[in-house]
Amino acid sequence: MSPNIDPATAHPFVRATVGEVMHEGVLSCPPEASLADVAALMAEHRVHSVVVFDQGSAGEVWGVLTALDLVAAAQTDPAAQSAGSVAASPVVTIDPGARLDRAAQLMAEYRSSHLVVVDPASGRPAGVISDLDLARAISQG
């Protein structure tokens, strides 16, 4: 917390951590997944993002594919594109112990509506936090 912020009187948004408001677990797809398959996955699970995750030897997060990315891809030929070609990359990640104001700062800086929450012990995706999650946390203050 900033030295000039008193934790006892700070807005709950400033005191809360990413781990307290994130959605645990991630829906993922490989970079070669079709956009139609990703769209079906989003619709089935009623989510706005899917983590594009290379499950090869490195097991790295490739990027994040959002519903807005799908909308933009639909203006061209979505059948000719893959999740990896449309996903925002490199992905912006955050630790579950980070404060929400840090998540907000990263979203603004990278113009991203979703951050992948990475488990610091394993380095693997543990969840996702979205701008809507931040809005909900602000409203509950």
Asked if pLDDT for residue 113 goes beyond 60, the answer is yes
What is the pTM (predicted TM-score) of this model?
0.81
What CATH number is associated with residue 57? 3.10.580.10
SS3 50: strand
- Label residue 128 by pLDDT band (50, 70, 90): very high
pLDDT of 50 reads 93
Question: How many Å apart are CA 136 and CA 67, to the nearest integer?
Answer: 19
Domain-embedded: residue 63: yes
Tens-digit pLDDT profile for residues 20-67: 999 998 898 999 999 999 999 999 999 999 998 876 655 667 789 999
Tens-digit pLDDT profile for residues 81-111: 899 899 888 889 999 999 999 999 999 999 9
- Which of 27, 35, 25 lies closest to 84, judged by CA? 35
Domain-embedded: residue 11: no
Domain boundaries, position 79: 17-139
